[in-house]
Amino acid sequence: MSQYNLKKEVDLNNQNLSGISPRLTTALEKLHTAIDELKTNKDLSNFLSEDNSGMEDKIEKLNNENIDLLHKLEDLKQKNGKLKDANKEVESRISNMITMYRNFLR
């Protein structure tokens, strides 16, 4: 039996009960409304769960990229330190050569 047919049958039963017990009819209507809301919430929950699993994968991928970038940054810092040392050495040699050249010209 489809949901539509079931709901139609429930509605007919509610109409039959409304003459006998209006409070029971109201309670059943509230119950069916609550069931419909639960179904909607379940569908939404399933959708969000699927979306969250996709987000977890993306977050893990971003974390891995972040770790790779941190390693590259550390490598670049080491290379930068070596270049600074090399620049100091070059500067020192040039200063020495200038001093030697000036001494030679005197």
In a structure prediction context, what are the per-residue pLDDT tens digits for the chain, which is 106 residues long? 455 555 555 555 555 555 677 788 788 888 888 888 888 888 888 777 776 777 888 889 999 999 999 999 999 999 999 999 999 999 999 999 999 999 988 8
Q: What is the pLDDT of residue 1?
A: 46
Work out the burial of residue 28: count CB atoms within 10 Å of its CB; fewer than 13 is exposed, 13-18 middle, 19 or more buried. Answer: middle
**CB neighbours of 54 closer than 8 A, spacing ≥ 6?**
none
* Residue type (1 letter), 95: S
Q: Supply the pLDDT for residue 18.
A: 56
